[in-house]
Amino acid sequence: MKDYVFKIQKFELLLGAYILIALVFFALVGYTDVYNATEYSIFDLRIAADHHTYVNHFRDNRDNLLLYLALWPNFTGPFFVIWLIGDNLISIFIFNTFCFCLSVYIISKTKYFDINKYLILLAINPITFVSLFAVNKEMMALLATSLFTSTLIKPRWYLILFSLFVSFLARKEMTLLFIILYCNFYFFPKWNKYKVLQYCTYIFLISIASYYINENFSAINNYTIEIENTVENGTGGGTILILNNLQNTFGYYLVVLPKTFLNLYGSVLTRTSQMIFFTDVYNDIIVWGQSFLFLYAVPGAFYTQWKTKDKIGSKFFYAFVILCIIFSYIPIVQTRYFYCGYLLLIAVISIKRTSIAKN
C-alpha cells in the first residue's frame, strides 16, 4: 500500500508563523485598540489608519450608500468590505488574513519568484502586518497587485478583469495604472523601447490635464490647506502646498521628482524623532517603517534589474516608475499609498535566477 507524505514547504511554515504572530497580537493589542478608536474615539496606540472613519461613515449613511459613494468614491472599497462581511473585527481579521494568504499563494503558483524571499520582504513591511486587523485599502491593493503580477507571467483574461475590479476597490489611481500597463504590455510589443521618452510623455500629459482633473482632489486639497503649518503624514504642509500650487498651474513636470521623493522617504526625514512617544503608532512607526524599507527596495530593485536584464523584471520596474508618476499627483503626501509600489519592487528583487535563465 502506497504511503502518502504531505510535504510542507518552507514558505508555508513562514506564512503559518506570521499568521500566528498576527493572531496573538490581534488578541492582545489589535482588537482593543481598533475597537476603542471606532466605538469611543479613544486613540491609544492607533495601529489602524482610517478604520474608524470607514465604519462610522458606513453606519451613518447605511440607507444612502450609493449617493454617498457618488460624492466620496474613495470609500467604495472599504464600504464594499463592510457591506460584504459586516464591521465585526474578528470577521474583518479573518477576511484580511484570507486575502493575504491568497495573495501569497497566487505569487507562489507563478513559480517565477523565490517565494521565501518575497514573503519575508512582504512580511517585514509593517503596513502588511497592521492591515490584517482593520478595514483598509492596502489588503485589496496587495491582492490586486498579486493578480497583476500573475497575469504578467501567464496572461489570463479573467484574472486581468478581476485585478481591475479589486484595484478599483483599492484606489482609482491604481485602476488607471493597471489599464495603462495592460495596454502597453499587450498591445504595444515595443513598449520596452524609449522608456524615458514614455515617462516624459506621461508627465507632460498630466501637466497639461492638471487644470481639468484637479477638481477630483478638491477634498484632499482642502485638507492639505488645513494642515499647512503642521507635520502630517511625512512632510510639512507648507512644502506640499508650494508643490501643489506649481502642479495646479501646469507645472507638474517641475514637482514630480520632489513629490515622489517625499512620498517614498518623507517619513524617514520627519518622523524619526517622533517614534519614541507612541502617540501615533500608525504614522510614526508603521508608515515610517515602509518609508525606511524603500531605502533598500528602490536601489535593490534597480540593481537587480540592471544586473539581470530580466524581461519580466523590466515590466515591474517600469510599472513602479509609472505608479510614481501617477500617484505623486495626489495633493497630499502619503507613503502608504505607495504600498503597491513596494510590492512591485520586491517582485523584482525576488525573481529566481532560474527564471531569468529561461528568458
Task: Name the band, by pLDDT with cuts 50, 70 and 90, for residue 20.
Answer: very high
Give yes or no for a contact between 166 and 147, defined as CB atoms under 8 angstroms apart: yes
Give yes or no for a contact between 21 and 34, defined as CB atoms under 8 angstroms apart: no
Lowest mean pLDDT among 114-123, 178-187, 268-277, 284-293: 268-277
Domain positions in the chain:
1-178, 192-359
Residue 104 has pLDDT above 60, yes or no: yes
| pLDDT tens by residue, 48-59 | 989 999 999 999
Task: Name the band, by pLDDT with cuts 50, 70 and 90, for residue 239.
Answer: confident
Q: What is the pLDDT of residue 211?
A: 74
CA distance 322 to 328: 10
Residue 246 has pLDDT above 50, yes or no: yes
Distance from the first to the final alpha carbon of the chain = 43
| pLDDT tens by residue, 107-124 | 999 999 999 999 999 999
Other CB atoms within 10 Å distance of the CB of residue 101: 15
Residue 228 has pLDDT above 60, yes or no: no
Q: Is the pTM of this model over 0.85?
A: yes
CA distance 288 to 336: 9
Backbone angles phi, psi at 42, to 5 degrees: -100, 110
Other CB atoms within 10 Å distance of the CB of residue 96: 23
CA 113 to chain centre: 20
Please tell me the total number of residues recorded for the chain in this structure: 359
Please list the residues that pair with 235 across neighbouring strands. 232
Give yes or no for a contact between 34 and 51, defined as CB atoms under 8 angstroms apart: yes
C-alpha cell at 167: 484595484
C-alpha cell at 232: 502630517
Give yes or no for a contact between 134 and 52, defined as CB atoms under 8 angstroms apart: no
Quote the mean pLDDT of the chain.
89
Task: Name the band, by pLDDT with cuts 50, 70 and 90, for residue 231.
Answer: very low
Task: Name the band, by pLDDT with cuts 50, 70 and 90, for residue 218.
Answer: low
The closest of 133, 158, 144 to 281, measured between CA atoms, is 133
C-alpha cell at 90: 474578528
Segment holding 264, helix H or strand E: helix 252-270
Please list the residues that pair with 232 across neighbouring strands. 235
